[in-house]
Amino acid sequence: MQVHPTIAGTRAASRTARARGARVGLVPTMGYLHRGHLELIRQARERAQWVAVSLFVNPTQFGPTEDLERYPRAFERDVALCEGEGVDVLFAPSPAEMYTPGAQTFVTVEELSKPLCGAARPGHFRGVATVVAKLFHIVEPDVAVFGEKDYQQLQVIRRMVRDLDMPVEVVGVPTVRDADGLALSSRNQYLSREERDRALCLSRALASARDLVAAGETDAERVLERVAVILSEGTAELDYAEIRDAETLAAVQRIERPVVLALAARIGATRLIDNTMLTPA
């Protein structure tokens, strides 16, 4: 595996692979890799003969009061994990390599970026869409793999690709969880043992919502009431819990087709997100 800190080196490696006839895959990450990331890499491997992983804690998707500085980093470990998965190139640029001073071009996916995490984190999805567009131009992948864990992000990227005619197949991968249901996240690292136990209320709330809908409940408000009760029992501080159209993310009152239930909550100082599809009986 090659580790490239530069745009030019990464692009050259990708073009060489493509010239040899390989289908090119890309898995964008912020590092501190866990089994969720590794599953994305495996899915990329199944669809491409040459796979790049990007490792970049993207400053432009963090708000001024967020955790950019203390976001967990473990470069050597990430390198070893990528090597173990047969990754061809790890693209690990510095912020200076990614952003030329005075950059003033951004990608904004207007409506999809507004609700849910977009409301809580202004500018976040502009940062995400812009860096992913840049990664697509650098690596020129045929296929790029993202997690459903970041459901809104996946929809934003799908829409960007469609709207801007990017020749990239976007693949979404179901959320990888610990055995007790907690969705894997690099930010789980922030949780104390006691907080990790409390954090289980997120997946418990989602499971309970799924059960309620499978049993015939179609009123979104009633489902959200159940979710709020379970989160408050778990002493999670709710940021949002909303039921929305799975593709447009428009608000939904009645659950008459598969929809997404997305939530964000704070356990102590740590903000966690999770989501599930709700399929009517």
Q: Give yes or no for a contact between 111 and 163, defined as CB atoms under 8 angstroms apart.
A: no
Q: State which residue, 4 or 37, has the beta carbon closest to ligand AMP.
A: 37
In order of 126, 153, 210, 241, 275, the CA distances from 112 in angstroms are 11, 9, 24, 16, 16
Q: How far apart are the first and last CA of the chain?
A: 48
Count of Cβ atoms closer than 10 Å to residue 139 Cβ = 28
Could you list the residues that contact ligand AMP (CB under 6 A)? 29-30, 36-37, 39-40, 146-147, 149-150, 173, 175-176, 183-186
- CA 10/CA 16 separation, integer angstroms: 10
Min CB(28)–ligand AMP separation in Å: 6
Block residue for tokens 């990430």:
78
- CA 227/CA 221 separation, integer angstroms: 10
Q: State which residue, 140 or 150, has the beta carbon closest to ligand AMP.
A: 150
- 37 in active site: yes
SS (H, E, C) 164-224: CCCCCEEEEECCCECCCCCECCHHHHHCCHHHHHHHHHHHHHHHHHHHHHHCCCCEHHHHH
- CA 149/CA 185 separation, integer angstroms: 9
Q: State which residue, 50 or 62, has the beta carbon closest to ligand AMP.
A: 62
- CA 117/CA 120 separation, integer angstroms: 5
Min CB(10)–ligand AMP separation in Å: 17
Tokens representing 260 are 């997404």
Q: State which residue, 184 or 243, has the beta carbon closest to ligand AMP.
A: 184
Q: State which residue, 51 or 224, has the beta carbon closest to ligand AMP.
A: 51
Q: Residue number with the shortest CB distance to ligand AMP? A: 147
Min CB(64)–ligand AMP separation in Å: 19
Q: Which of 4, 34, 37, 124 does the annotation list as catalytic?
A: 37
Helix (H, G, I), strand (E, B) or coil at 176: coil
Min CB(104)–ligand AMP separation in Å: 25
Min CB(21)–ligand AMP separation in Å: 27
DSSP assignment, residue 85? T
Active site positions, annotated: 37
